[in-house]
Structure 1
Amino acid sequence: MSRPFATILLLASLFVAGCDQFKTLTEAEQIARSIQQEVKRNERGLDALIAAADNTTYDGFAWRRGERIQIRQRLTEGEQQGELQLLAEAEAPEIIATAVANNLPSFSIVRYQQGWLVVFNTYLTEHCQAVYAYAYRGQLPEVPSCSEERFAETANGQCQSPITANWQLFKEWFFAESLVAEGNPKCISKAEQGWRVSGN
């Protein structure tokens, strides 16, 4: 084989290998990357926001610059125990001040176990699951690591992937049973295999 031809083959193989590295990300991968980048970009600001929230007795905050803050408290009794109730009169100026001081123009955070969830996005998997994707400030020792196999095998579940020492990418998913009634063939197939929403 002549040297120029061998060089062309080598360059072609390198080009093909390079193209593989630039393949399009799935929606799940895009959302995961976005959450990881956002946490790493302003981890100090998010830490400050969580610290301010932790100093309150409330369980949830949502705010967008220029709008009134929404504050929620988890119900501790009755049929709706555990659900978050919007409080009409509550104020939290220290939360807004912390967000402004740390360049956080909007946020939605919820107390969860021993830490806080930062709400980011939802998406639908190819296995007919609605996935809620969060950044979690704290440790979740009982939650397994995320993998594609876990989604393929489990109708409903939770998983995590580390972002930094203190932050995790946390996902919680449920079988999208409502899409069965809409005639989605993938969801119908999963329902026929016995998949149901947790508790059903």
Structure 2
Amino acid sequence: MTLCLQGRQLGCERDDRWLFSGLDIEINHGEILRVTGPNGSGKTTLLKILAGQLNDFSGALHWNGQPLSQVSEQFAANMLYLGHAPGVSAWLTPLENLAWYQALQGERGSEEQREAALARMGLQGLEDTPIGHLSAGQQRRVALTRLSLTPRALWVLDEPFTAIDQAGVDALEAQLAAHADAGGAVVVTTHHALNNARPLCHIALG
């Protein structure tokens, strides 16, 4: 598998203050990159840059040796970004949210597949409950269901452990490790130690 995201001399300035500058990053298959730092240090900003969500930065991004701007479609087809907020609609059910995400990505999936994915996340019996009636942890689990439902080689995850219980933490750590072991790659911001996910790289901001 060819998978390599490179950032060279990355920098981002906000309100006349550099969040970070001169940052070099390389993410290859089989790797987990953990990004840490205090609040306001630029962790979310960095992830949005790496995911192609922000253009207001200095430096350069390359995907498999080519400028990201020239291979944006190929990159998007290989990357899944989950932001700090769950990013689910309170008015839709878990099944409806997942169906919407799959349609947005141009994917065709069955309701049976979505139900099975939700069951693996411990959400069996809640498939048709409006998201707004679920707890914060359950909403986070719905969002994380996309990891198994939407196959992507590169996962860019902003604080994915927020609001989930210890069982969910253990399951997610195992999922990150399994993804890397299978040749995928993960970039994750978290204050969590990731004891079981075995991060191979670490960047501390701030």
User: Which TM-score applies when normalising by structure 2?
Assistant: 0.27
User: Which TM-score applies when normalising by structure 1?
Assistant: 0.27
Q: Which has the higher contact order (CA 8 A, sep 6+)?
A: 2
